[in-house]
Each structure stands twice: as C-alpha cells, then as structure tokens.
Amino acid sequence: MMHNMKVAVGIDIGGTNTVFGLVDEQGNCLAQNALKTSNYPLVNDFVAEVSKQVNLLIDSCENIEIIGMGVGAPNGNYYTGTIDFAPNLKWEGVVPLAKLFAEYFNFPVSLTNDANAAAIGERIYGAAKGIDDFVMVTLGTGLGSGFVVNGDLVYGHDGFAGELGHTIVEKNGRACGCGRRGCLETYASASGIVRTAKEFLENSTNSLLVGLNEITSKSIADAALEGDQLALDIFDFTAEKLGFSLANTVAISSPKLIVLFGGLAQSGDLIIKPTKKYMEDYLLNIYRNKVDIVPSKLKASDAAILGASALAWN
C-alpha cells in the first residue's frame, strides 16, 4: 500500500496579488497558482474562486494527504481568523476569512498576518531553522515583523503583537499612513528609503539618481553598488534608524537572530552591514556581538506560499 505524502496548502494574500500552492514538509512547492486580489471586490467571490483553484491543484497531484491550510494576509489575526480593517484590501471592516475558507474544505484553516507567516516559514524552512528566539523583519512597502520567543510566535493578548514598523523612532518625524508621525516604517522600508532619496535629492545634483524617471529601492541599490555617494548616504541614513530600533528591540526580547526579508532586504549587505554597525553602536554592552542579522533563506518566488503553508504545519 502507498503511503500518502503529507502536504499543506499555503495562501498569501496581498493587496494586488494572491498566490497559493501546495508545500511538502521539506518546503518544496509542488504546485502553485495566482490571481489578482483586486479583481474580487466581494470577499465571498474571492474565497469561492481561490477554493476552486486550490482544489484543481490538489486534484493535479497524486498520493497526497492535505494536513491543513495556512493563510497569510495583511492585518490577519491568528486568534479570530479574521482580517481586520486592512487598508490595502477592498474588503472592509472585519472579514472572517478563515471561517469562509473552512466551509470549502474538510481540513483545518489557520490565518495570521504576512510577517508572522514569514517568521514561521523562516523557522521551518529557512534561516531560522532550529532557533527559538528570533525576529523576522519584512522590509516591503511597509515594515512588518514577527517575534518568535521560546519557539512560539508572539501574538499578544489580542493577536496584534509584532508591529515593529509602527514603533516611533522619531517623535514628530515623517507622517505615517497610520495617522501618527515618525514610525519606523516611514524610514526603513522600500517606500521609506524612496522618501529619503527624494529628500536627499533636493539638495544634490551630483548623483546617479538625479534625473531618474522613477526612484525605487532597487535603483538606489544599483547606484550604491556603483559607488554613488548619495545612494550610500541614503542607505546609511536608513540603516541608522533601523539599527537604532533593532537595538531597542534586542533589549526587550534578546533574540539570537534577526532575519530581513522583502524588497529592501534584497539589497543585501548594502542594508545589512550598516544596520548591524548602528545596532552594535546603540546596543547595551551585554548584548554586543551576539545578535546576527541575516537575509531570508526562503526563495523569493516561493517565500509567501511557504510562509503561509508553514502555519499549517505549526
């Protein structure tokens, strides 16, 4: 008799795209597909279509046993299985997404926010394998984070723990989408570094970035790699804010490791080296030279699905 291979379904919901797939225990993505989230203004239509497509993926694989489904979504709450007031999604208010998916399947459905899903993915398949105390920081359009303590994700009493991007790093600093000022994500994120570049360019004519049609974290990284001083200064400025916040974070949870993920993290040593330097400068002596900062080891193309699916294994 054949033994069926155990497989988890992972669904990652973003404001633009939703990706989903089947993942085995080793983190191999057996099958995947995607659709445009924004094409589904009604969440019921969205759930019906994704469920149909997931069933097609399941039918395409032989000898598998689905152990569960993990969903990563902006503002996803693990405790309630709901998406609560996500600013980048068309579905308003509190959306009971885990319950809606559960109606289509006979296996358990878990939901959390995308940064928490990434943290679990990194622990099961990536750079934090076997590490019980670490922090995942996702440097995308915003800055998300997931804290793992004693081997468990920190959800907090209400499921909303881990908003490092909304710790205030500069009182009366930059305006943030949350309505306050000086949040870390207004500086340390793909959009934050672009804001910095635009500010710095107001007083500079001597840079590869001058005259570019569109400035992105990638174009800043490309200029920095060519030795462009303004681009290097932009990374230094960003790293100082991030390093400062990480030093304060280490004093709270004393992690072994900080894993960086997302668009800005793809600039690698350009962001990691100065961030590490500033973090060490700001750290209390008992923590110095103990905390690594490393890039994610999840394949970028699969990472979102892996992270979400990891929730099901957990």
Query: What's the min distance (Å) between Cβ of 278 and a second copy?
Result: 11
Residue whose CB is less far from a second copy, 51 or 77: 77
Binds a second copy (CB under 8 A): choice among 130, 171, 202, 227: 171
Query: What's the min distance (Å) between Cβ of 164 and a second copy?
Result: 6
Could you give the C-alpha distances from 50 to 19, 33, 36, 92, 300, in angstroms and in order?
9, 9, 10, 19, 22
Q: Does 178 bind a second copy (CB under 8 A)?
A: yes
Q: Please, are residues 71 and 13 in contact by the beta-carbon 8 Å criterion?
A: yes
Q: Does 167 bind a second copy (CB under 8 A)?
A: yes
In the stretch 130-149, what mask flags binding to a second copy with x, by CB under 8 A? -xxx-------------x-x
Q: What is the DSSP letter of 160?
A: -
Query: What's the min distance (Å) between Cβ of 256 and a second copy?
Result: 4
Q: Residues, the chain, total?
A: 314
User: In which residue are the tokens 């989230």 written?
Assistant: 37
- Amino acid identity for residue 87 in this structure: P
Instruction: Find all residues with CB under 8 Å of 267, minimum gap 6, and list them.
Output: 217, 218, 220, 221, 224, 235
Q: Does 175 bind a second copy (CB under 8 A)?
A: no
Q: Please, are residues 120 and 78 in contact by the beta-carbon 8 Å criterion?
A: no
Residue whose CB is less far from a second copy, 133 or 233: 133
Distance CA 144, CA 176 (A): 14
User: Footprint of a second copy on residues 86-125 (CB under 8 A)?
Assistant: none
Q: What is the DSSP letter of 186?
A: G
Residue whose CB is less far from a second copy, 27 or 162: 162
User: Footprint of a second copy on residues 33-92 (CB under 8 A)?
Assistant: 84
Q: Does 25 bind a second copy (CB under 8 A)?
A: no
User: Footprint of a second copy on residues 243-262 (CB under 8 A)?
Assistant: 244, 247-249, 251-256
- Conformational region of residue 302, where left means phi above 0, alpha means psi within -120 to 50, and beta covers everything else: alpha
Q: Does 200 bind a second copy (CB under 8 A)?
A: no
Spatial strand order in the sheet of 94-95: 76-77, 82-84, 94-95
Which pair of structure tokens corresponds to residue 36? 């445009």
Q: List residues near a second copy by CB under 8 A.
A: 84, 131-133, 147, 149-150, 152, 154-164, 166-168, 171, 178-180, 244, 247-249, 251-256, 282, 284-287, 290
